[in-house]
Amino acid sequence: MYEVEVKVRADHDGVRERLAAIGAERTASVRQVDTYYDAPHRDFAETDEALRLRRETVADDSAADGAGVSDDGRTPETGDPETRVTYKGPLVEAASKTREEFETAVADAAATEGILGGLGFEAAATVEKRRDLHSVGDYTVTLDSVSGLGEFVEVEREATESAVEAARAGAYDVLADLGLDPADQIRTSYLGLLIAADADDEERNAQR
């Protein structure tokens, strides 16, 4: 199965108004902490692959409008974290962030970390974000607030290989309905954006 995704940088306030106008259903609000791993047998940066361990916690809905946010900007969370391990293959087209993806839940995060470490996989970077998810027809619209990067909107759905083009066209239509331009899409992952931002910071510091 392929994950067909289109992502743009966008202010969430205006998008929320458009979501309400088109009758979108808010389905969840979560906090995710994603740990990405380097492989011992090949360079994922060169092969455009990713191996990720995700810890996800349901966020308190009272924080969706800013209520209940703590002094350090964190939102309250409820329940125990759910952990999933995901493999993402290389991008398969130039018009969207479409990848083959395999994901499964794991019962014990610490044991999974031990397995990966024992096989030579090393934790390389962590991405933290708050996600508000909405349903628009067959698509999920996600409003992401990513630590160190800012606000983004993703439109995605799963599709078989033969249906990727049609799914991408539909994602473009959803973006347009939200007042966003598919031409502004970003095909770089949040991990890639954070690495680039860190590199820019290091370069600026070196020039001082």
> 63-95 pLDDT, tens per residue?
444 433 343 334 455 567 899 999 999 999 988
Structure tokens at 74: 């964190």
DSSP code for 120: T
Provide φ and ψ at 136, rounded to 5°: -130, 100
The gap from C-alpha 157 to its chain's centroid, in whole angstroms, comes to 13
CA distance 42 to 199: 22
Residue pLDDT, tens place only, 100-143: 999 999 999 999 999 999 999 999 999 999 999 999 999 999 99
pTM of the model: 0.85
- Whether residue 191 has pLDDT greater than 60: yes
Pick the CATH number of 2-207 from 2.60.120.200, 3.30.1640.10, 2.40.320.10, 3.90.400.10: 2.40.320.10
What are the boundaries of each domain within the chain? Answer: 2-207
Provide φ and ψ at 116, rounded to 5°: -65, -45
